[in-house]
Amino acid sequence: MTAHEKQAVEAEEKRTDTVADEPTSTDTPPPPGTPIIEVENIGKRYGNVIALSDVTTSVRAGEVTCVLGDNGAGKSTFIKILAGAHEHTDGELKIDGISRHLSSPRVALDLGIATVYQDLAVVPLMPVWRNFFLGSEPTKGFGPLRRLDVSTMKTTAKDELAAMGIDLRDVDQPIGTLSGGERQCVAIARAVYFGARVLILDEPTAALGVKQSGVVLKYIAKARERGLAVVFITHNPHHAWPVGDRFMLLRRGKSMGDFPKSEITLDKLTAMMAGGTELDALSKELESSLGADSELIRDMKAETRG
């Protein structure tokens, strides 16, 4: 190698040291409870359609903020505002105390806000480690010798998954062979590794069975332990309750309230979710046609209690 080449190698190494995608997870996270995102009376109109209005809550380091609501309640609209996918049209969004309009997901990501959507963008036939680094692959060498740093990717993916308590037999297996829950977990570990401070999860348990949901809930708790602020969207209060620190309820685009865990109970949350009196009326109506002993009626009655 000539002296000139050597210089170029060194310059290249310096350059890759400072690329934007470098993980920043080694930074010390802010103390638990520090507000990272604060929204005040935030809203979103699509032309004449008011998808969301008057939502006030905060997303804090080391806490899980649950966003609950039925289909069409405005949950996705709310997180799209935080994720930079849609700009809000009303109210105020503050990040680290600074008022902002997020114009793109890239801007949100640069502020440390990562979103894991339900339909994960993974390449099923590619190995787990490859998916872990998709779009941010480390390389070694330079010029024509530049190539993917496969060994680093494999060991890093394995170590990072292990740090989240995810024990995969083999990071070489195609990600398509993992269960839905495991795939969600890989996406969570990936976001943590690439320096997310805020992790937004849009209904990560909606398509999963009981056991797989439990696995995902465990990693949500793990992300919180690592100091991340988590926004957990779900329509299931039984999933939200065990991991949540704060609960924000949406109904038809409006906030039904924002409660710290100390100020609400699971029963109350469930009743509010179910729409209380509305569900009561519906269950009475159904009772006359299905009979009081029907399983559906018993479930509905259990939900409206409390």
Ligand X SMILES: Nc1ncnc2c1ncn2[C@@H]1O[C@H](COP(=O)(O)OP(=O)(O)O)[C@@H](O)[C@H]1O
Shortest separation between residue 76's beta carbon and Mg ion, angstroms: 3
Does 246 engage in binding with ligand X (CB under 6 A)?
no
For Mg ion, the closer of residues 75 and 88 by Cβ is 75
> Is residue 248 part of the contact set for ligand X (CB under 6 A)?
no
For the chain, helix, strand, coil in percent to 5 are: 40, 25, 35
34 CB-near residues (< 8 Å, 6+ apart): 60, 61
CB of 51 to ligand X, least distance (A): 3
Site for ligand X in 30-69 (CB under 6 A): 46, 49, 51, 69
| Nearest CA among 68, 70, 227, 251 for reference residue 79 | 68
Residue 76 within binding range of Mg ion, rule CB under 5 A: yes
- Nearest 5°: phi and psi at 227? 95, 5
Complex with Mg ion: residue 76 or 304, whichever CB lies closer = 76
The residue within the footprint of ligand X, chosen from 75, 88, 154, 224 (CB under 6 A), is 75
Residue count at the site for ligand X (CB under 6 A)? 12
Find which of Mg ion, ligand X, none residue 1 binds, CB within 5 to 8 Å per kind.
Answer: none
Q: Check if the beta carbon of residue 265 is closer than 8 Å to that of residue 306.
A: yes
DSSP assignment, residue 245? Answer: S
DSSP state of 104: S
Token readout for 162 is 């292990």
Nearest to 65 by CA among 258, 267, 264, 275: 258
202-231 residues in contact with Mg ion (CB under 5 A) are none
Q: Which residues bind ligand X (CB under 6 A)?
A: 46, 49, 51, 69, 71-77, 253
Q: Which residues bind Mg ion (CB under 5 A)?
A: 75-76
